[in-house]
Amino acid sequence: QVQLVQSGAEVKKPGASVQVSCKASGYTFTTYVISWVRQAPGQGLEWMGWISPYNGKTEYARKFQGRFTMTKDTSTSTAYMELRSLRSDDTAVYYCARVMSIFGVVITPHYMDVWGKGTPVSVSS
Amino acid sequence: DIVMTQSPDSLAVSLGERATINCKSSQSVLNSSNNKNYLAWFQQKPGQPPKLVVYWASTRDSGVPDRLSGSGSGTDFTLTISNLQAEDVAVYYCQQYYTTPWTFGQGTKVEI
Contacts across the A-B interface (CB distance below 8 Å): 54
Residues B55-58: contacts with CB under 8 Å, at least 24 apart? B55/A100, B55/A110, B55/A111, B55/A113, B56/A111
Q: Is the pLDDT of residue A104 over 80?
A: no
- With CB atoms and an 8 Å threshold, state whether B100 touches A113: no
Arithmetic mean of pLDDT over chain A: 95
* Pairwise CA distance, residues A17 & A81, whole Å: 10
Q: Is the pLDDT of residue A101 over 90?
A: no
**For A115, which residue in chain B has the nearest alpha carbon?**
B49
What pLDDT sits at residue B32?
A: 94
- With CB atoms and an 8 Å threshold, state whether B104 touches A111: no
Contact B100, A61 (CB under 8 A): yes
* Pairwise CA distance, residues B5 & A113, whole Å: 22
Q: From the CA of A100, how many Å to the nearest CA of chain B? A: 10
The alpha carbon of B54 is separated from its chain's Cα centroid by a whole number of angstroms, namely: 7
What is the DSSP code (8-state) at residue B82? -
Identity at A25, one-letter amino acid code? S
Q: Is A59 exposed, middle or buried, given 0-12, 13-18 or 19+ CB atoms closer than 10 A?
A: middle
* Pairwise CA distance, residues A69 & A85, whole Å: 12
The alpha carbon of A15 is separated from its chain's Cα centroid by a whole number of angstroms, namely: 20
Q: Which of A121, A109, A117, A122 is nearest to A35 (CA)?
A: A109
Counting residues of chain A whose pLDDT is more than 70, the rounded percentage is 100
pLDDT tens-digit readout, B35-77:
999 999 999 999 999 999 999 999 999 999 999 999 999 999 9
- With CB atoms and an 8 Å threshold, state whether A95 touches B49: yes
pLDDT tens-digit readout, A23-57:
999 999 999 999 999 999 999 999 999 999 999 99
CA atoms within 13 A on the CB side of B58: 10
